[in-house]
């Protein structure tokens, strides 16, 4: 519930229209810009992303916890770093918000096939966001980085969901 | 209707008239128009202490020794002397009556500071319900302290800050709370706020709001720490979870999270937490995000708006630090966020750095609202509901009579005239909002500062407890009502004025909250002993 209306409005001294750096002429930069336009025109549901400050290679993404999952009600912030040889190498995706999930390591790093060996230059940031969002709905316990959570997920789903929901309430509100 | 301002007429009127409902206290306070501290004893012979203040119930006068080691507490008394003649009012006071100790009785003197610590003479909080006093001692400030172990860079460090809780009745030290290698802004109580029995202490260096409770038994009990985590057991929860996971990883079995590590919780931050957003920032960012998200329905427009207004500034929001905190009630805190470059004296250069205030609910751990310090909406709330920002404890009813522009038409007029004169309205709003969050117990409840009773120059004197540059002219207190006459004058310093008119003089005024009694302390900058005058009703 919003009480202050547009309370979040801010007017930092820098101009908000200068977010595209004028110097990015590299191929990766162009590609990232194109993906940004694409993301803008057709954003994936309940998630969004954008460059942090004026650095095109460093983004922040937000995923709203999907209703019906233990992550419901949470707002998850992620740090996305693009390598300089993007799209030939995958971006690095790290949760800035604590999350209880078998595919997210204790430091927040997201571990998914498509962010490692299964990466393809045909994938885009939009697809990465969709993929991250989908593992929040359907974790992949067989490729887990936190085996303890994966075991609990497979062995006692209700307990797993309770703990994950408790994490969401405590750390992701 | 004609009303006499004669005190006898007033007493008679009090006998025969019932004041309008809820105005009896206001009526009674009008007697202060007749009872004023108009007589001055100049250059009182008194101990060379630095006098801090009268407690808000008038029971104690707090002072510190010049070497900042000892606390000396006095009980204010009314002077008494005998006189042989018939009409003794005509005579000057006998010299014995003019002494400091005919007005004040020393109750005790206790050493507070030990070895390299000194009493912070700008810091004192009073818990009226239990007559407890909170004092602080600290070692020297280190300005270029390395930002080790998660400390904010650019904030000075103090090796040891100790808060002492004393029973003022007998000076017994009840409890202590020590902060090591930390920084709490103790000037004018800025970094600490007391509300009922709850105490909020802001650690600037570690960006944590420590909430403590003062028990009736005289113990300082940690309630929660807001910063890295929001709930009191978040860290425990995380550690027990982490341990449960580590065990199950090792043993490949289903180890349920247990609570056995309770004793180890405070042995250091879990190092896995470093890269995550601190709890309070997560709440803040998700509040801002939600606001922007819900504002716009169209996906594409929303995406653009978030990019420009949220992601672009994301790091700036992350870099904001907690500067100051006050309670609004037992559950809500008003928190000021600003940039680290703002410096501890944020108000002075408020214009250069963006600052924000947020209302935070400690129990639900939710940000309730968030404003920039130039927000007109916040200013309007401040103008109309200023008293709601002055959170005062339950039993201090007289605090309701401290004049503010929300409860006093004259103060409001004054504020409006400043606003109308201001050339730049956004500058004006920022300047006014710089006083938020308010400092705790920074205003004197003395009725002589009630702007519905008296008019005075608030550049020279006001209810706000501050040192002021003083002139040789006496400060006039003029009646607000008919006959609008000059009622009394307060003149700090020697009666004849200073020998050296050019020397800079600093004055402070200590008004008794109830009696027509005040101390003025004037100090020249060259380490001379201060000149103390006693102002009272003869």
Q: Which residues contact B127 (CB under 8 A, 6 or more apart)?
A: B133, B134, B194, B197, B214, B393
Residues of A in contact with B279 (CB under 8 A): 171
What is the rounded CA–CA span in Å between residue B163 and residue A84?
A: 52
Task: Tell me the percentage of chain A whose pLDDT exceeds 90.
Answer: 59
What is the rounded CA–CA span in Å between residue B356 and residue B339?
A: 9
Is residue B15 domain-resident? no
- pLDDT tens-digit series, residues B318-373: 999 999 999 999 999 999 999 887 655 544 444 567 889 999 999 999 999 999 88
Nearest CA in chain A to B227: A171
What is the rounded CA–CA span in Å between residue B494 and residue B491?
A: 8
Q: Which residues contact B421 (CB under 8 A, 6 or more apart)?
A: none
What is the rounded CA–CA span in Å between residue B269 and residue B146?
A: 18
Give me the residue from A9, A62, A106 closest to B289, CB to CB.
Answer: A62
What radius of gyration do chain B's Cα atoms show?
A: 27
E-assigned strands of B183-278? Answer: 192-195, 198-203, 208-214, 220-226
What is the rounded CA–CA span in Å between residue B519 and residue B532?
A: 7
pLDDT at site B2: 55
Residues of A in contact with B371 (CB under 8 A): 4, 7
What radius of gyration do chain A's Cα atoms show?
A: 17
CA of A28 vs chain B CAs: smallest distance (Å): 20
**Domain range holding B199?**
57-229
Last residue of a domain, one of B295, B319, B343: B319
Is residue B210 domain-resident? yes
Residues of B in contact with A9 (CB under 8 A): 309, 372, 375
Binary contact (A10, B304; C-beta < 8 A) = no
CA nearest A76: which of A132, A147, A120, A18?
A132
Is residue B114 domain-resident? yes
Residues of B in contact with A17 (CB under 8 A): 308
- pLDDT exceeds cutoff 70 at A111: yes
CA of A63 vs chain B CAs: smallest distance (Å): 11
In CATH, what number is assigned to the domain containing residue B81?
2.40.128.630
Residues of A in contact with B287 (CB under 8 A): 7-8
Nearest CA in chain A to B366: A173
Regions of chain B where pLDDT drops below 70: 1-3, 88-89, 243-274, 342-352, 393-396, 498-501, 526-527
pLDDT at site B252: 36
Structure tokens at B9: 């007429």
Binary contact (A8, B370; C-beta < 8 A) = yes
CATH class assigned to A27-171: alpha beta
Is residue B531 domain-resident? no
Give B 23-62 residues with CB within 8 A of chain A. none
What is the rounded CA–CA span in Å between residue B316 and residue B308?
A: 13
Give A 100-159 residues with CB within 8 A of chain B. 100, 106-108, 146-149, 151-152, 155-156, 159
Give B 213-232 residues with CB within 8 A of chain A. 230-231
Q: How many domains are there within chain B?
A: 2
Last residue of a domain, one of B258, B288, B319: B319
pLDDT at site B173: 95
Phi, psi for residue B414 in degrees, rounded to 5: -60, -45
The pairing of strands B486-490 and B531-536 is: unpaired
Cα B53 to the center of its chain, rounded Å:
13
E-assigned strands of B431-471? Answer: 454-455, 468-469
Residue B341 touches partner A, C-beta closer than 8 Å: no
What is the rounded CA–CA span in Å between residue B402 and residue B393?
A: 14
Residue B319 touches partner A, C-beta closer than 8 Å: no
Give me the residue from B295, B314, B368 closest to A3, CB to CB.
Answer: B368
Tell me, yes or no, whether B296 and B222 share the same domain: no
What is the rounded CA–CA span in Å between residue B401 and residue B450?
A: 7
Residues of A in contact with B283 (CB under 8 A): 173
Phi, psi for residue B202 in degrees, rounded to 5: -95, 115
Q: Determine the 3-state secondary structure of B426 from DSSP.
A: helix
Give A 10-69 residues with CB within 8 A of chain B. 10-13, 16-17, 19, 36, 39-43, 48-54, 59-60, 62, 64
What is the rounded CA–CA span in Å between residue B217 and residue A169?
A: 35
Residue B434 touches partner A, C-beta closer than 8 Å: no
Give me the half-sphere count of Cα atoms (radius 13 Å) on the Cβ side of residue A44.
Answer: 22
CA nearest A48: which of B142, B98, B302, B53?
B302
Residues of B in contact with A78 (CB under 8 A): none
Is residue B171 domain-resident? yes
Q: Are B335 and B209 in contact (CB under 8 A)?
A: yes
Percentages of chain A per state (helix, strand, coil), in multiples of 5: 35, 15, 50
What is the rounded CA–CA span in Å between residue B410 and residue B429?
A: 20
Tell me, yes or no, whether B101 and B224 share the same domain: yes
Phi, psi for residue B354 in degrees, rounded to 5: -65, 145
CB pairs under 8 A between A and B: 164
C-alpha dist (Å) from residue B169 to A49, B135, B162, B465: 61, 15, 21, 24
Give me the half-sphere count of Cα atoms (radius 13 Å) on the Cβ side of residue A127.
Answer: 13
Tell me, yes or no, whether B62 and B121 share the same domain: yes
What is the rounded CA–CA span in Å between residue B322 and residue B339?
A: 9
ipTM of the complex: 0.86
CA nearest A61: which of A84, A87, A81?
A81
Is residue B63 domain-resident? yes
- pLDDT exceeds cutoff 90 at A63: yes
C-alpha dist (Å) from residue B186 to B110, B155, B195: 21, 14, 17
Count of other CB atoms within 10 angstroms of residue A21: 15
Binary contact (B303, A43; C-beta < 8 A) = yes
Helices and strands: H and E segment counts in chain B: 10, 26
Give me the residue from A12, A59, A151 closest to B254, CB to CB.
Answer: A151
Q: What angle (nearest 5°) sits at the alpha carbon of residue B379, between those of residues B378 and B382?
A: 90
What is the rounded CA–CA span in Å between residue B241 and residue B471?
A: 65
Is residue B516 domain-resident? no
Q: Which residues contact B413 (CB under 8 A, 6 or more apart)?
A: none
Give B 277-296 residues with CB within 8 A of chain A. 277, 279, 282-283, 285-295
Structure tokens at B189: 């109580």
Last residue of a domain, one of B197, B229, B261: B229
Binary contact (B234, A171; C-beta < 8 A) = yes
Q: Determine the 3-state secondary structure of B212 from DSSP.
A: strand
Q: What angle (nearest 5°) sits at the alpha carbon of residue B182, between those of residues B65 and A167?
A: 140
The pairing of strands B61-65 and B70-76 is: antiparallel
Structure tokens at B304: 């653009």
Interface probe with A: pick from B239, B307, B381, most Cβ of A within 10 Å: B307
CA of B426 vs chain A CAs: smallest distance (Å): 12
Tell me, yes or no, whether B86 and B186 share the same domain: yes
Residue B302 touches partner A, C-beta closer than 8 Å: yes
Block residue for tokens 């801090």: B52
What is the rounded CA–CA span in Å between residue B11 and residue B16?
A: 9
């Amino acid at each position: 519930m919003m009480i202050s209306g547009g309370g979040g409005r801010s007017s930092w001294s820098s101009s908000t229209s200068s977010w595209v750096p004028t110097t990015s002429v590299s191929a990766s930069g162009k590609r990232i810009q194109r993906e940004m336009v694409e993301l803008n025109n057709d954003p994936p549901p309940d998630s969004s992303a954008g460059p942090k400050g004026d650095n095109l290679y460093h983004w922040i993404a937000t995923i709203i916890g999907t209703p019906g999952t233990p992550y419901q009600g949470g707002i998850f912030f992620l740090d996305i770093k693009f390598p300089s040889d993007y799209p030939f190498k995958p971006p690095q995706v790290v949760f800035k918000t604590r999350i209880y999930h078998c595919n997210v390591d204790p430091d927040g790093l997201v571990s998914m096939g498509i962010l490692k060996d299964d990466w393809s230059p045909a994938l885009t940031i939009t697809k990465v966001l969709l993929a991250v969002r989908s593992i929040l709905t359907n974790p992949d316990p067989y490729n887990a980085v936190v085996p303890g959570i994966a075991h609990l997920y497979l062995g006692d789903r209700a307990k797993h969901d309770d703990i994950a929901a408790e994490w969401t309430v405590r750390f992701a509100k | 209707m004609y009303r006499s301002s004669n005190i006898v007429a007033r007493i008679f009127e009090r006998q025969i008239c019932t004041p309008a409902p809820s105005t009896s206290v206001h009526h009674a306070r009008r007697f202060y128009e007749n009872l004023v501290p108009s007589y001055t004893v100049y250059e009182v012979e008194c101990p060379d202490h630095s006098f801090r203040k009268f407690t808000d119930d008038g029971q104690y006068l707090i002072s510190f020794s010049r070497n900042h080691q000892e606390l000396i507490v006095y009980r204010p008394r009314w002077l008494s002397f005998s006189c042989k003649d018939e009409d003794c009012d005509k005579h000057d006071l006998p010299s014995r009556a003019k002494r400091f100790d005919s007005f004040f009785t020393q109750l005790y003197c206790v050493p507070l500071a030990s070895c390299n610590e000194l009493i912070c003479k700008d810091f004192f909080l009073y818990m009226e319900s239990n007559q407890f006093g909170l004092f602080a001692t600290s070692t020297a400030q280190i300005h270029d302290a390395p930002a080790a172990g998660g400390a904010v860079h650019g904030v000075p460090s103090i090796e040891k800050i100790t808060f002492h809780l004393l029973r003022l009745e007998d000076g017994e030290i009840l409890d202590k709370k020590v902060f090591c290698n930390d920084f709490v802004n103790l000037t004018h109580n800025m970094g600490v706020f007391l509300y009922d029995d709850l105490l909020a202490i802001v650690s600037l260096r570690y960006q944590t709001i420590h909430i403590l409770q003062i028990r009736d038994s005289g113990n300082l009990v940690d309630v929660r720490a807001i910063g890295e985590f929001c709930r009191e057991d978040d860290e425990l929860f995380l550690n027990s979870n982490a341990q449960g996971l580590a065990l199950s990883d090792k043993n490949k079995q289903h180890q349920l999270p247990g609570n056995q590590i309770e004793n180890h919780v405070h042995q250091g931050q879990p190092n896995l937490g470093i890269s995550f957003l601190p709890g309070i920032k997560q709440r803040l960012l998700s509040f801002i995000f939600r606001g922007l998200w819900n504002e716009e329905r169209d996906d594409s427009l929303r995406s653009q708006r978030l990019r420009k207004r949220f992601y672009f500034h994301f790091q700036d929001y992350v870099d904001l630090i907690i500067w100051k905190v006050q309670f609004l009630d037992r559950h809500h805190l008003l928190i000021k966020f600003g940039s680290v470059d703002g410096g501890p004296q944020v108000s002075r250069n408020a214009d250069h750095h963006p600052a924000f205030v947020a209302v935070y609910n400690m129990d639900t751990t939710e940000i309730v609202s968030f404003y920039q310090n130039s927000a007109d909406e916040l200013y309007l709330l401040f103008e109309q509901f200023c008293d709601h920002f002055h959170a005062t404890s339950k039993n201090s009813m007289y605090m309701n009579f401290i004049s503010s522009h929300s409860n006093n038409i004259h103060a409001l007029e004054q504020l409006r005239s400043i606003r109308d004169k201001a050339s730049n309205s956004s500058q004006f709003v920022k300047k006014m909002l710089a006083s938020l969050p308010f400092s705790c117990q920074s205003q004197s409840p003395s009725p002589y500062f009630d702007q519905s009773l008296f008019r005075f120059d608030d550049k020279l004197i006001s209810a706000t407890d501050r040192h002021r540059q003083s002139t040789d002219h006496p400060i006039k207190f003029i009646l607000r009502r008919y006959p609008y006459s000059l009622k009394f004058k307060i003149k700090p310093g020697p009666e004849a004025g200073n020998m050296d008119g050019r020397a800079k003089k600093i004055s402070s005024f200590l008004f008794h909250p109830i009696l027509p009694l005040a101390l003025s302390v004037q100090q020249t900058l060259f380490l001379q002993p201060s000149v103390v005058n006693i102002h009272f009703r003869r």
